[in-house]
Structure 1
C-alpha cells in the first residue's frame, strides 16, 4: 500500500520537523492548559507536495495509525490559508477511501484525471476536525481526546483539502496544506466526538431561506457539548444550533451556539453549559440571503452552498461517543422545522446575531 503509517511518517519526516507544544487556541473563551512536553507530541498530516491544477479540486491523503498503540488527539494546528484552501476536513476511518497516497475526493467537484476518485473513507467515516476562513488552532479541554488507533474504530485518518484557488501553483509551486496533530499515548478519561448537522436543498433567487435540520438522540449516552462550528459558503448570514427538550408539554429550546459563518470558521465555545441525552433533539438552522438571479443549490463548489453545524462534545470514555455521527435533512423546499410536530415555537432570534 502507498499509505504510510502514523509511525512511519513520523520517522520519515523527523529530520525536517520538530515537536512543539505551545500554540494559540480559543476554547471556553480563554487560553487553556498545555500538557507537559514529554506527554504531548506532534504529527504533521500534510498534503505530500501536491499540485492542484484547477480551482474547486478536492484532494485526500491518508495515514494508517498503529493498531498496537492507543493514541489520543488533544489539539489541532492548521497549516493553510483561506486564499488557497476553501476548507479542510479530517475524517476518522475504519478503512480509507483509497490505498493511493493522494486521490480525488469531491463528489461532483472538479477532478484531476490523473488521479483515482473515491470517498474520504470506504468504511466508518466520522469527522474529527474541520477548518476554514483562517480559523486558529484548537486545543481540547483537559482530559478530553479523540481515541484513535489501538482498540478504537479509527484506524486511519484522512485529510481532505478543498482548493478554492490554484493561482499560487501556476509556476509549479506545490502544496503542503494540512494539520499538525497534537497527540498523547496517555489515556484520556473523556472521549471526544463530533456530531455533524447539515441539509440538502436549495436557495431561491433573491430570497431569504431557512435551511433547517433536526435529529433525536436515541442512544443511552450523555454527551457534553463544549464547542461548535458553523459552515456555509457566500450566502450564509447566521447559523444556529439548539437543544430541544420536552418540558411540561412544551418544547424548551436552549442555545448551543450561534455565529456568523463569514467569520473565521473555528470551533467556538458553546453558549450554554448543557448535556444531551436520550430523548433530546438537536436542531440547527442556516439563514441564507441571496441577491442572485438564479437558484443556488447545496453542492461541493464555492458557487454552490453548504449548511453545516458541528457539535464537538465529550462523553465518559467508559460508554464512548455516539454511534450517530451525522444528522441531515433534505432541506428546503421539502423540510423545515415545522415539518416535525415536536419542533414547535422555535426562538424568534434563531436568525439574529
Structure 2
C-alpha cells in the first residue's frame, strides 16, 4: 500500500511539473520569441498593467484614480498599436475586409492602422476624466475642442474598414459551421459601434466638456473605460490566440463581445445623467440619425455643436440668465425645511456613504458654514447680485451637504436642491457671521448680546434665528431678508436681544446656547472672510444704553420686510399650499453631499437667481414625469425601429448581391496532390506568423491553420509563385 501511495504522489508531482513546463513554454513562445520581440514585450507590459488596473479599481478606487495607470495603460495601448503598424507590414494592403469578424483569414493592414485611431481616442478620454489632466486639456482649448467635437474629421487621415465588407464576403471568409454565428455577432457589433461612437465617445466627452459628472459618476465612467481598453487592445491579442489555435474562433469573439457589452453596466449606474442632462442626450441622438447620412452632414453638425457649446460655456449667447441657479426643490405639503451646509469633511455614520440619517452635517462644525435654509412657510431669500460662495479643493468648502426635514415619512421623493456652479468669478463673496448667547445671559424673557467687530467691511443682507429647543422662538427659525443691507466696518459694535414670549420652564445648563443668530453678508473678493464670532454680552453697558426698553415682536412677515406679504408665516403657507418649486431632480432622502472635483486653482462659485424659462420647462417635466418617461421610450422605440429598418434594407441588398455574384469555386491541384493551391498559400502565410519557420515547415497543415480565404490577396508576388511551383503538373478541375 505504501508503494502505491508513493507511486501516486510521484505521478501527481510529475504531472504538475509537466503542466508548469508547458505553461512556461507557452508563455515563452507567446511573449519572448525573437521574432516581433518588441511587439510581444509591449503587449506583455500592457496585459500586466491591465490586470493591475482592474485589481486597484476593484480594491481601492482612490488608489487607482491617483495611480500612474490613468495615463500609462492607455498610452501603452497606443504605443502597442503603433508598433503593430510598423511590424505587420506584410499584411495585405489591398484587402478591404477587416479580417477580424471571421474565422478564416488574417487581419488586413488597414484594420491594424485604423486601431491606432481608436487607441488615441481612448487615451484622450482616460486623461480627460482625470482631475489632474483635465485642468490642462480644458485650458488648452484647441485640443479640447478638436478631440471632443471633431475627431471624425481627423479620422479621414486613417484608412477605414467596413463591417459591410466582412458581411459581403461571408461565403469566402467564414467557414460553414461558424458562418451564421459570425454574421449575427458582426451585426450586433456594428449596432454597438454606432452606439459607442456617439454615447461612449461624443456624449461622455460633452459631459466632461461642461464638467457635469460628479465623482461617483466618474468612477463608473472609468470602469467603462477599463472595459473599452480591453475591447480596443486586448481584442487584437485574442485574434492572435485564435490564429495560433490556442482558443477557438467562437470563444475568442464571445470574450471580445463580453468586454464591450460590459460597458452597459456603467451606463446603468450613471443613468441619471441622461435624464438630468437630457438636452445633451438629445443632441447626441440627432447625431446618431445623421450618422446614416453622408460624412459632409456629420461634420457640419459637429461644427455647429462646437460653436453652440463653446458659446454656452463661455457665456457668449445672450439669455435672460444673468447669474446661475441655487434653488430648493420642495413641496410645501411634504417638506418642513431644507438646510444647506459647506463642509471640509461631511459627517457620515458609514464610510463612503453619501446619504445618511442624522442632524450633524459635518465632522467638524467649526469648519462648516450654513449657507442656506428654506422653510415651508417663509419666502426664500434673495442673494445680492454678482455675489457668490467660493468652493473647491483649495478652500475650506470641499463638500455641499443638504439636510431635509419632512412632515412625515415618504418614499420616491424628488426633493432637495439644484446647485449650479460657475468658474466665472463674481464681484463679491458671501460669508456667514455667527452670534450666540448662552443661558447665563438669560434674564427674564430675553437674552442680550454685544461684541465688537474687527475684520473687513461687510454688508449684512439676511439673518437666521435659532434657539434652544426648550425656548422656541415665536417664528420659524430660518433666514429672513432684511429690509435694507447693514454696513458693518471694523471696530463697530454689534448689539441685540432675543425675546421669548415665556421664560424657560425646564432647567438648562449655563453653557447651553439658547439664542443664535447667523448673519449672511457679502464683501469684496479680495477681502478675507472673517473667522471671528460674536459671543454673549461682552459690552453690557453699551447694550443697556442703546437697546430700546420696549420692543415690538413682529406679527406679520411685512413687519420684518416690506417685500414680504402682510401675512403671518402660516397664512402665507396656506396661500401657497399648492405651489411647488420643483427645479431639478435630486434623489435625496435626508441628507446628501456633493464634492467639488476641482483640485487645482480654478475656484468654483455658487450664486443665486430667480427661476428662468429653462427651469420652467423642467418644472413641466417633473409635473408630468410619467408622461415624459413614456415619451422618451417612444422616441427610443422609433429610433430603434429606424435602425432596424436600415439593417433589414441593407441585409436585403446583401442577399441580392450574393445571389447575383455567387460563382462556382475552381479548385487547383498541384502535382496531382490532394492539397490545393489555396492550402499551400495558407501554409506559406502561416509560416510568416509562426514562431519558428523550421518547425512549421514539417508540421501537417491541419484545419486549425486553414483560416486564409482563397479569395484573399496573397502575400506572395506573382514572381515568387512562378518560381516556387512546377506548373507542368498543374491540373484544372471544373
Q: Residue 96 of structure 1: SS of its match in structure 2?
A: coil
Is contact 2:445-2:500 (8 Å) kept? Answer: yes
Is contact 1:87-1:133 (8 Å) kept? Answer: yes
The residue number in structure 2 matching 1:341 is: 541
The residue number in structure 1 matching 2:399 is: 156
Higher relative contact order (CA 8 A, sep 6+): 1
The residue number in structure 1 matching 2:643 is: none
Unaligned runs of 5+ in 1: 21-34, 42-74, 107-117, 238-260, 299-303, 330-336
The answer to whether residue 491 in structure 2 is matched with residue 279 in structure 1 is yes
Q: Residue 459 of structure 2: which of 224, 233, 239 is its match?
A: 224
The residue number in structure 1 matching 2:326 is: 76
The residue number in structure 2 matching 1:322 is: 530
Offset of residue 84 of structure 1: 4.5
Using a 3 Å threshold, how does the CA distance of structure 1 residues 179 and 339 change in structure 2: closer, same or farther?
A: same
Structure with the higher helix share, 1 or 2 = 2
Offset of residue 202 of structure 1: 9.1
The answer to whether residue 465 in structure 2 is matched with residue 212 in structure 1 is no
Using a 3 Å threshold, how does the CA distance of structure 1 residues 200 and 180 change in structure 2: closer, same or farther?
A: farther
Unaligned runs of 5+ in 2: 1-59, 63-210, 218-269, 280-317, 555-734
Is contact 2:341-2:372 (8 Å) kept? Answer: yes
The residue number in structure 2 matching 1:50 is: none
Offset of residue 126 of structure 1: 1.4
Using a 3 Å threshold, how does the CA distance of structure 1 residues 279 and 343 change in structure 2: closer, same or farther?
A: same
The residue number in structure 2 matching 1:126 is: 369
Superposed, 1:140-289 pairs within 5 Å as 140-163=383-406, 165-166=407-408, 168-169=409-410, 173-201=411-439, 209-219=445-455, 221-232=456-467, 235-237=472-474, 261-262=475-476, 265-268=478-481, 270-289=482-501
Determine the C-alpha separation between the residues in 1 that align with 2:485 and 2:382. 18
Using a 3 Å threshold, how does the CA distance of structure 1 residues 274 and 151 change in structure 2: closer, same or farther?
A: same
Using a 3 Å threshold, how does the CA distance of structure 1 residues 134 and 352 change in structure 2: closer, same or farther?
A: closer
The residue number in structure 2 matching 1:252 is: none
Is contact 1:203-1:297 (8 Å) kept? Answer: no
Determine the C-alpha separation between the residues in 1 that align with 2:464 and 2:361. 23
The answer to whether residue 549 in structure 2 is matched with residue 311 in structure 1 is no
Using a 3 Å threshold, how does the CA distance of structure 1 residues 104 and 200 change in structure 2: closer, same or farther?
A: farther
Which of the pair has more CA radius of gyration?
A: 2
Using a 3 Å threshold, how does the CA distance of structure 1 residues 277 and 212 change in structure 2: closer, same or farther?
A: same
Offset of residue 78 of structure 1: 1.8
Is contact 1:235-1:290 (8 Å) kept? Answer: no
Using a 3 Å threshold, how does the CA distance of structure 1 residues 37 and 181 change in structure 2: closer, same or farther?
A: farther
Q: Residue 274 of structure 2: SS of its match in structure 1?
A: coil
Offset of residue 280 of structure 1: 1.6
Using a 3 Å threshold, how does the CA distance of structure 1 residues 120 and 83 change in structure 2: closer, same or farther?
A: farther
Determine the C-alpha separation between the residues in 2 that align with 1:156 and 1:338. 34
Is contact 2:448-2:543 (8 Å) kept? Answer: no
Offset of residue 105 of structure 1: 3.6
Is contact 1:202-1:297 (8 Å) kept? Answer: no
Can you list the C-alpha shifts for 1:39-68, whole angstroms capped at 9, x where unaligned? 755xxxxxxxxxxxxxxxxxxxxxxxxxxx
Determine the C-alpha separation between the residues in 2 that align with 1:209 and 1:38. 47
Determine the C-alpha separation between the residues in 2 that align with 1:89 and 1:2. 31
Is contact 2:344-2:398 (8 Å) kept? Answer: yes
Determine the C-alpha separation between the residues in 1 that align with 2:451 and 2:513. 21
The residue number in structure 2 matching 1:25 is: none
Using a 3 Å threshold, how does the CA distance of structure 1 residues 149 and 348 change in structure 2: closer, same or farther?
A: same
The residue number in structure 2 matching 1:295 is: 506
Q: What is the CA RMSD across the aligned residues, in angstroms? A: 4.1
Determine the C-alpha separation between the residues in 2 that align with 1:138 and 1:86. 16
Offset of residue 306 of structure 1: 5.9
Can you list the C-alpha shifts for 1:145-203, whole angstroms capped at 9, x where unaligned? 1111153321111122344x43x43xxx2444322224322101110111132334399
Structure with the higher strand share, 1 or 2 = 1
Determine the C-alpha separation between the residues in 1 that align with 2:326 and 2:528. 21
The residue number in structure 2 matching 1:97 is: 347
The answer to whether residue 15 in structure 2 is matched with residue 15 in structure 1 is no
TM-score w.r.t. length of structure 1: 0.56
Moved over 6 A (4+): none
Is contact 1:202-1:296 (8 Å) kept? Answer: no
